[in-house]
Amino acid sequence: MHRRFVASAARNKKTSHSAPGPCVKIIAMSELFKVTIDNITIEVPAGTTILQAARKIGGEVAPPAMCYYSKLKGSGGKCRTCLVEVSKGSEKDPRPMPKLVASCRTTVMDGMEVKNITSEKVIDARAGVVEFLLLNHPLDCPICDQAGECHLQDLSYEHGKEGTRFEFQKRTFHKHDLGPYIQLHMTRCILCYRCVFTADQLTNKRVHGVLSRGDHAEIATYIEKSLDNDFIGNVIDVCPVGALTDKTFRFKNRVWFTKPVDAHRDCDKCCGEVQLWMRGDEVFRVTARKDEWGEIKDSSKGSTGWICNECRFEKKFASDWTIEGPTQVNRHSVISQGHYVGLKKPNETFEKVMNGREPRLFMDIHSVSEVNKPEIQLSLIHGPAHSDDFKENNKD
């Protein structure tokens, strides 16, 4: 095992030796490698990772990734969900790799053959990783704000088993407030380190990190410090689970009830290009625009579309934004359900369907219910909605 590491180190060394300086880099960039993933061959530039090549093919061939985030340098390799089998190293050195490799951190070689969903070993190992990730995860999806757009949910639906073999108490942590906008639910965290990389790469000074080790490792600020940086809100977007949540949105609505709308505003801090998650005219949540892999898209200016705290947390009225139109959610997940994609408007009118009769309201739910008042803007209530909020309003 060790021998192979060093042997491939030698290979690496050789390439870096014969290719010093920037001129060779350009040659390397233009060079195309042929790689076969699950019997589909694709040509990608040298230096592409297996995961990125598989994402170009798309669909089920793309391995799931919980910790890798293409916009964050240095991320990946930790969660082990993207393990793939390399059945042929390259054209020059056709030996298979002895162990499964993390596709997010392994670059392709010319003539490489990779097995993802066609490999029993990979499917078995991935099921194991899903089980490991869920061991200490509370599975509190019914009360978790991330439910519906949670990558761990998607992963366990697709690759997990219906039951667990873990018969012990799960490890738990207390909830922490990281400043006025972000809440940390460490119990749900899968330690992907994405938020650590985000703080490293977007802010001048990171104030949170990983404390302790092993299964007691936690994301923390050590002494309860608040994260205050104009761009720190992006940790909510990169978090694959519900560990870091938006306090202005907590318990306000289920994500699948809200409709995503592309919008923009002139912001002097960030690109100002966002997604509004609306219900009716209410803006419940503002996030950056995400692609089908759940990663933040590039803005129209070309750079990654990170958004600032002001856009994310303080601009909660439709009037703050110029609305461009409904977002097409490409992600294969609950949030993509029923969101204008492939929507066909019916030609028939109500009257025609009902044989000429006018539709009639049997009962106005709002007039009988004490807690269902459309005039009360849920998004404006501080904290989770409570029946008192409606009663007070009734008195007024």
Partner 1 sequence: MAVKLLLEKAHVEGIRTYDVYRREGGYRAVEKALKSMSPEAIVEEVKKSGLRGRGGAGFPTGMKWSFIAKPEGVPRHLVCNADESEPGTFKDRYLMEFIPHLLIEGLIISSFALGSNATYIYIRGEYAWIPDILEQAIAEAKANGWLGKNILGTGFDCEIYVQRGAGAYICGEETALIESLEGKRGNPRIKPPFPAVKGVWDRPTVVNNVETLAAVVPIINLTGEEYAKIGVGRSTGTKLISACGNINKPGVYEIDMTISVEEFIYSDEYCGGIANGKRLKACIPGGSSVPILPANLLFKTAKGETRYMNYESLSDGGFATGSMMGSGGFIVLDEDQCVVKHTYTLARFYRHESCGQCSPCREGTGWMEKILKNIDTGKGKMSDIDLLWDIQRKIEGNTICPLGDAAAWPVAAAIRHFRDEFEWHVLNPEESQVRNFGLAHYADAREVVA
Specify the residue, 193 or 277, whose C-beta has the smaller distance to partner 1: 193
Q: How much is the CA Rg of the chain, to the nearest whole Å?
A: 24
Specify the residue, 173 or 390, whose C-beta has the smaller distance to partner 1: 173
Minimum distance from residue 174 beta carbon to partner 1 (Å): 18
Minimum distance from residue 64 beta carbon to partner 1 (Å): 13
Q: Residue 263, SS3?
A: strand
Minimum distance from residue 29 beta carbon to partner 1 (Å): 19
Position of tokens 């100002």? 272
Q: How many DSSP H helices and E strands does the chain contain? A: 11, 14
Minimum distance from residue 117 beta carbon to partner 1 (Å): 17
Specify the residue, 135 or 381, whose C-beta has the smaller distance to partner 1: 135
Are the C-beta atoms of 67 and 77 separated by less than 8 Å? yes
Closest by Cα among 292, 253, 288 to 271:
288
Specify the residue, 137 or 289, whose C-beta has the smaller distance to partner 1: 137
Specify the residue, 117 or 318, whose C-beta has the smaller distance to partner 1: 117
Let me know if 86 is exposed, middle or buried by CB neighbors in 10 A (0-12, 13-18, 19+).
buried
Instruction: Tell me which residues touch partner 1 (CB under 8 A).
Output: 1-3, 5-6, 8-10, 12-13, 16-17, 20, 76-81, 83, 99-100, 102, 105, 124-125, 128-129, 131-133, 135-136, 165-166, 168, 171, 190-191, 193, 209-210, 212-217
Minimum distance from residue 207 beta carbon to partner 1 (Å): 15
Strand partners for 220: 209
Gap between the Cα atoms of 204 and 40, Å rounded: 43
Minimum distance from residue 96 beta carbon to partner 1 (Å): 13
Specify the residue, 59 or 98, whose C-beta has the smaller distance to partner 1: 98
DSSP per residue over 187-229, as a string? Answer: GG-----HHHHHHHHHSSS---EEES-GGG-EEE-SS------
